[in-house]
Chain A
Amino acid sequence: MQVLESRHVAKEVSSPEGTLTIVADVSFAVERGQSLAIVGPSGSGKSTLLAILAGLDLPTRGTVLLNGTELTALDEDGRARLRAGHVGFVFQSFHLVPSLTALENVLLPLELAGTDGAPARAREALDRVGLDARRRHYPRQLSGGEQQRVAIARAFVARPDLLFADEPTGNLDSATGARIAELLFEFNRELGTTLVLVTHEQTLARRCRRVLSLDAGRVVADVAGGA
């Protein structure tokens, strides 16, 4: 069963020098429980594609299907609703809400989706990433690796079908990065969450079952990874 499908997706923006193609005619499909790495040189359009796949942005052409629903046919609120129960995010710069404690940050998606028993589940998720003891701490009291672990707990707490990650280890040293990667794949195995991650790290990409290489907005290679 396909959880995510991209059909001839393209993104163009107009600039003073004429139309600029950032993503050109990208088509692929991802099976449930799979893990997909998107790699490519800087400026090749990885983040832009990720934003389109997650419904954060709209393509200029083509369609995206998420869980069989045509994302590109929904309005912004419709896409947000779809994300609320089904999609999680992990970002390069963590994006924790600075005024919320670790626990409150993890609670956020549950509250937005209106889930029952939210506090217990949030603590459980925080415990799962080994930070239950730090639940009352604010992001600025946590190290980068700890912040990213909180972000991962936040991404998985609502048990999403899909998790998007943009350079999740980009801001971390290699040892911490490895721990974060470990966590992501644990969730992928245990909960069956589909992973779509953009990365520069060869080691991380190689752990994915499939690696999509972009160059200048085009798919130049689509190969099976190591794991």
Chain B
Amino acid sequence: MIKALRFALVAFGRDVRSGELAVLFGALVVAVAALTAVGFFTSRVSQAIRAQAGEVLAGDLRLESGRSPSPRYEAEARSRGLAVAHLTSFPSVVYAGDVSQLATVFGADAAYPLRGQLKIAAVPYGSAHPVSGIPAPGEAWADSRLLARLAVPVGGRLRLGALSVRVTAVLDYRPDQGTGLADLAPTILINGADLARSELLGPGSRATWSLLYAGPPAAVDAYAAWLRTQKSAAERLTDAGESSEQMKSATERSGRFLNLAALVTVLLAAVAVAMAARRYASRRLDLVALLKSLGASQRFVLGTTLTELVLVGLCGAVAGTVLGFGAESGLAWLVRGLLKTELPPPSLLPAWLGLGTAATMLVGFALPPLLQLRRVPPARVLRHDLAPPPLRWGLPYLAAAGALAALLYALVRDPRLVGYAVGGLFASALVLGAAGTLLVRVTRSVRGGAGIAWRYGLANVARRGRESVVQIVAFGLSLTVLLLLALVRNDLIDEWQRSLPPGAPNHFLINIPPADAGPLAEFLTGHGVAAPVLAPWVRARLVAVNGVPMQARMPRSDRGRAFAEREQNLSWAEALPPDNRVVEGAWWQHPDPAQPQVSVATEFQEELGLKVGDRLGFDVAGESIVATVANVRKVRWDGFRPNFFLLFAPGVLDASTGTFMTSVHLDAAQRPALAELVRRFPSVTVIDVAALLGEVRRIMDRAAVAVEYVFGFTLVAGLAVLFAAIQSTRDERRYESAILRTLGASRRTVLYGVAAEFTALGLLSGVLAASAASAIGWLIASRLFGLHYAFDWTVWLGGLLAGALIVGVAGTFATRRVVQSSPMRSLRDA
């Protein structure tokens, strides 16, 4: 064994110097680097994004309760190093002289908000600026709506129960003001110290006590887990992940883009590793036969092979990890701005991950052909055509793909994404293989006509049979990815950003009485706002599922309980709204009003465990309605248009029930019109989501940059596969071209032959790759990202061109040296 080790070390050194291991090593480094960089980056960014998403809660974690929560909660949180803030809210009538208005009163302590910032303005609907701190005792910040209703200017006094406060600013934005459309009343923020003096918090008050927490993610998670075991069912715990549908959609999508890029990179690199290992093994056949004839045992051969493999793995993992760390820093720099919080320090985890990737790839994809070396018949030294028994690759490669999929799953924890990427690549390889076999057959019969170069080239494609199919698969896969990167990626990212255009709605108008609908639309168009689309809007409570009352089937999760207990906003629609996609059941055509149907969003369906065909009982303003679930919708919430968890078929609700809502885009110049709007349509409620919209847009922009960067790795992995495929027939070519030239063929003829062969291979794989890229692009867009994808004929043109140019030119160029070296030399080396 020591012998084998020594020999392996020497052999490794030589193989490194001669560049024999370059492709294998390169593929490994790319995979490890991509995985470490993206894996590490994604986790850091998702933490940062989580902190950002926490703005919507004004903290990373929020506990809401109908009673003052146990002081133990706060003590425990502080002992775990978390920051804690208190916020108490309750509905109350606010007086300005004789005028009164129902409002929601918020009493905060100085720590509020733990995440995000309050914004205030000097005049109602004026331009706002961020501020730190809260109103001093005896002061209040009221929102524009309240001041407009009460006709009180900044500086005026308001009365709250026994408390009198002076308005010192207009409250423009609270990070946790929400878009749930539940907080309908105008708001006023006072200092928590004044709460007692108002004498409004006595028994019977409908107050909500909120405890806000913030801290490092791990500590927050641990505390949340603890709190779940302590809190009563009536206390509702929300974490940043479930805070805002819009924010969640946007961050999920950016995370998916990054993960997808990393997955494809690693899978491609695995293909490159497999190809490189195949060639490496085939180049060692002679050496192994010779060693065996000189008396080397199978163990010796195995030992040297494994040692070299381990060395390659270690070096690849180390180099890849170093590169990955470097790339990660670059990535972090690119998205600097996106991360307001300090990034957590680098940990050793990605290094282990890199080692794991290297090990899986080598064991899974490089070991099978190398193990085969052990079985090289020693008589090969005398008869060159003797080779080890052909590798049954099916099983080992399948096992390797499984192991790799498991590793990738451990990294991204998104079974659907991993499934799509692994399955997609696998299916593409199969289809490419089948089509390649067919095409190779066809070329066999079309060798007549054309010049000698083409005839020779095409004959080669056909003769190399299996090797050609492998090359077509490899070229096809790399071209597919290159096409996806070149054409589809831009479309996807553009489409994603287009889903939130500059004119995206930034205000919701709700509670529009039917009588006001026409005049309101006129009012808006009169102020230069595009005519709004009004959606019917009804508040209703879910009371039973399949005849079982909700009290008897209360969901476990806080969110599910909220769905079951609270009033829901719902609407009805004839056609499927634009940001919605039916994932189960079918959208209704000509629904029968006598058989009420309802469509539920996936969130609602999952939390309550519903299925198509379930009968849901609702209480709509005292009227009871039973409707059958007709379909389940996936909703894209980050489009900032009115969307609903529940949609009825037309005719179920009386058209006069409820009110209307809409969303509009108002620029800074149009905002002051809101003051007039609120005066003219007193029952209409305006909800400002401009700040949230800005956050979502910022995440998108930064994420797009990050995604482009990570796709750079994918590009390199694609090129590695391409290179490995070109290299795979290099030795044969050297020998063949030497023979041809010995027979009198000119360099030129031989080179044209090679060019013809590569161009033919490139064209074949280009066409196949274009089809694969279109199909995958469509799948990715529609299934994974819920985006619209338009088929584009330029993909095919691109495929043909890229195939002929990249494969043809690169292949010919890479083999040129082989063809041009003297035939003498080539034959001697063979």
Residues of A within 8 A of B (CB): 47-48, 50-51, 54, 56-57, 76-77, 80-85, 87, 89, 91, 95, 97-100, 108-109, 111-114, 140, 144, 166
Complex contact A111–B379 (CB within 8 A): no
- Decide if A47 touches B382 in the complex (CB within 8 Å): yes
Residues B828 and A84 in contact, CB atoms below 8 Å apart: no
Contact B297 A56 (CB under 8 A): no
Residue of A nearest to B384 (CB): A93
**Across-interface contacts of A77 in B (CB, < 8 A):** 297-299
Closest to A50 in B: B382
The listed residue (B3, B18, B379, B381) touching A99 by CB distance below 8 A is B18
Complex alpha-carbon distance, A95 and B285, angstroms:
12
15 contacts between A and B (CB under 8 A): A56-B292, A56-B379, A76-B378, A77-B298, A80-B292, A80-B298, A81-B295, A81-B297, A83-B293, A89-B294, A95-B290, A109-B294, A111-B3, A112-B295, A144-B828
* Residues of chain B contacted by A81 (CB below 8 angstroms): 295, 297
Given contacts A112-B300, A144-B828, contact A47 B294 (CB under 8 A): no
Q: Would A80 and B383 count as touching, CB distance under 8 A?
A: no
Closest Cβ of chain A to B191, distance in Å, is 81
Output the least CB separation between B298 and chain A (Å): 6
Task: Give 9 closest A-B pairs by Cβ, nearest first.
Answer: A84-B295, A57-B379, A56-B379, A51-B379, A56-B378, A83-B295, A77-B297, A99-B14, A47-B382
Give the chain B neighbours of A95 by CB distance below 8 A: 286, 290, 381
**Residue among A80, A82, A114 making CB contact with B378, cutoff 8 Å:** A80
Q: How many angstroms from the CA of A109 to the CA of B287 in the assembled complex?
A: 13
What's the nearest-Cβ distance from chain A to residue B287, in Å? 6
Cβ–Cβ contact B14 & A100, under 8 A: yes
Q: Contacting B294 at CB < 8 Å: which of A83, A144, A166?
A: A83
A56: chain B residues at CB < 8 Å are: 292-293, 377-379, 381-382
Known pairs A50-B382, A99-B15 / 9 extra A-B pairs, C-beta < 8 Å: A54-B293, A56-B381, A80-B298, A85-B295, A89-B381, A99-B11, A108-B291, A109-B295, A111-B6
How near does chain A come to B264, taking the closest CB pair, in angstroms? 35
A57 in contact with B377 given A84-B295, A99-B18 (CB within 8 Å): yes
Docked-complex contact A140 and B825, CB < 8 angstroms: yes
How many angstroms between the C-alpha atoms of A144 and B829 in the bound complex?
A: 11
A80 with B297, Cβ < 8 A, contacts A98-B829, A140-B828 known: yes
Q: Which residue of B lies closest to A154 (CB)?
A: B294
Nearest CB to that of A97 among chain B residues? B287
Q: Which residues of B pack against A, CB within 8 Å? A: 3, 6-7, 11, 14-15, 18, 20, 286-287, 290-300, 377-379, 381-383, 825, 828-829
Q: With both chains docked as a complex, state the minimum distance between the C-beta of B733 and any C-beta of chain A, in angstroms.
A: 18
A173 to B18, CA, bound (A): 31
Q: Which residue of A lies closest to B299 (CB)?
A: A77
C-alpha gap A108/B299 in the complex (Å) = 17
B347 CB, nearest partner CB in chain A, Å: 41
**A112 pairs with B294, CB closer than 8 A:** yes
Which residues of B are found within 8 Å of A47, using beta-carbon distances? 382-383
**CB-defined contacts of B295 to chain A, threshold 8 Å:** 80-85, 87, 109, 112-113
Q: Which residues of B contact A113 (CB under 8 A)?
A: 295
Chain A residues contacting B3 (CB-CB under 8 Å) are: 111-112, 114
Instruction: Give chain A residues whose Cβ lies under 8 Å from the Cβ of B298.
Output: 76-77, 80
CA distance A47 to B20 in the complex (A): 31
Interface pair B15/A140, CB less than 8 Å apart:
no
B contact residues around A57 at 8 Å (CB): 377-379
Give the Cβ gap from A52 to chain B, nearest Cβ, in Å.
9
Closest partner residue, chain B, to A92 (CB atom): B382
Of B15, B294, B378, B382, the residue contacting A108 (CB under 8 A) is B294
Complex CA–CA separation, A200 to B825 (angstroms) = 25
Q: List residues of chain A with CB within 8 A of the CB of B825.
A: 140
Q: How far is the CA of A50 from the CA of B293 in the complex (A)?
A: 12
Q: Are B293 and A89 in contact (CB under 8 A)?
A: yes
- Chain B nearest CB from A179 CB (Å) reads 19
Residues of B within 8 A of A112 (CB): 3, 291, 294-296, 300
In the complex, the chain B residue whose C-beta lies closest to that of A113 is B295
Q: How far is the CA of A112 from the CA of B299 in the complex (A)?
A: 12
- Cα-based distance from A89 to B378 in the complex (angstroms): 12
**A residues in contact with B378, CB < 8 Å:** 56-57, 76, 80
Q: Which residues of chain A are within 8 angstroms of B294 by Cβ–Cβ distance?
A: 83-84, 89, 108-109, 112
Q: How far is the CA of A77 from the CA of B378 in the complex (A)?
A: 11
What CA separation (Å) do A19 and B407 show in the bound complex? 50
- Closest approach, in angstroms, between the C-beta of B304 and any C-beta of chain A? 11
For residue B381, which residues in chain A have a CB less than 8 angstroms away from its CB?
56, 89, 91, 95
Residue of A nearest to B291 (CB): A112
How far is B286's CA from A56's CA once the two chains are assembled, in angstroms? 14
Choose among B292, B296, B377 the residue with the greatest number of A CB atoms under 10 Å from its CB: B296
**For the complex, what is the distance from the CA of A166 to the CA of B14, rounded to whole Å?**
29
Residues from chain B with a CB closer than 8 A to the CB of A89 are 293-294, 381
Q: How far is the CA of A50 from the CA of B287 in the complex (A)?
A: 20
Report the bound CA distance from A97 to B381 in whole Å.
Answer: 12
User: Which one, A80, A85, A100, contacts B296 given CB within 8 A?
Assistant: A80
Query: Which of B287, B382, B383 is packed against the most chain A CB atoms within 10 Å?
Result: B382
Instruction: Name the CB-closest residue of B to A87.
Output: B295
Contacts of A97 in B (CB 8 A): 287, 290
A178 vs B456: C-alpha distance when bound (angstroms): 41
Q: Chain A residues near B383 (CB, 8 Å)?
A: 47-48, 51
Q: Please report the C-alpha to C-alpha distance between residue A91 and residue B381 in the assembled complex, in whole angstroms.
A: 8
- The residues of B that contact A91 with a CB separation of less than 8 Å are 381-382
A80 to B295, CA, bound (A): 4
Complex CA distance for A47 and B383, rounded to whole angstroms: 8
The smallest beta-carbon distance between B793 and chain A, in angstroms, is 49
Within the complex, the shortest CB–CB distance from B545 to chain A, in Å, comes to 71
* A residues in contact with B828, CB < 8 Å: 140, 144
**A96 to chain B: closest CB distance in Å?**
9
Within the complex, the shortest CB–CB distance from A119 to chain B, in Å, comes to 13
Q: Which partner residue on chain A sits nearest B17 by CB separation?
A: A99
* Min CB–CB distance B212 → chain A (angstroms): 67
A87 contacts which chain B residues (CB < 8 A)? 295
A99 cross-chain contacts in B, Cβ below 8 A: 11, 14-15, 18, 20
In the complex, which residues of chain B have a beta carbon less than 8 angstroms from the beta carbon of A76? 292, 298, 378
Which of B3, B14, B293 has its CB near the most chain A CB atoms (within 10 A)?
B293
- A140 to B, closest residue via Cβ: B829
Q: Which residues of A contact B299 (CB under 8 A)?
A: 77
Please measure, in the bound complex, the distance between the C-alpha atom of A139 and the C-alpha atom of B18, giving whole angstroms: 14
A155 nearest in chain B by CB position: B294
- Residues of chain B contacted by A48 (CB below 8 angstroms): 383
Q: Which residues in B have their C-beta under 8 angstroms from that of A80?
A: 292, 295-298, 378
Name the distance in Å between A153's Cβ and chain B's nearest Cβ: 13
B14 CB contacts on chain A under 8 angstroms: 99-100
Q: How far is the CA of A85 from the CA of B295 in the complex (A)?
A: 8
Q: Considering the chains assembled together, what is the distance between the CA atoms of A114 and B297 in angstroms?
A: 13
Q: Chain B residues near A82: list those with CB within 8 A.
A: 295
Closest CB-CB distance, B132 to chain A, in whole Å? 69
B206 to chain A, nearest CB (A): 84
B109 to chain A, nearest CB (A): 75
With both beta carbons as reference points, the residue of chain A lying nearest to B298 in the complex is identified as A77
- A51 and B300 contact, CB distance less than 8 A: no
Which residues of chain A are within 8 angstroms of B293 by Cβ–Cβ distance?
54, 56, 83, 89
For A46, the closest partner residue in chain B by CB is B382
Q: In the complex, what distance in Å separates the CA atom of A48 from the CA atom of B386?
A: 12
Residue of B nearest to A76 (CB): B298
Cα separation A54 to B20 with both chains bound (whole Å): 31
CB neighbours (8 Å) of B292 from chain A are: 56, 76, 80
Bound complex: CA of A85 vs CA of B296, how far in Å? 11
What's the nearest-Cβ distance from chain B to residue A38, in Å? 13
Q: In the complex, A57 Cα to B381 Cα: how many Å?
A: 11
A112 CA to B301 CA in the complex, in Å? Answer: 11
Q: How far is the CA of A76 from the CA of B302 in the complex (A)?
A: 14
Q: What is the bound-complex CA distance between A89 and B293, given in angstroms?
A: 8
Residues from chain B with a CB closer than 8 A to the CB of A85 are 295
Determine how close the nearest CB of chain A comes to the CB of B300; give it in whole angstroms: 7
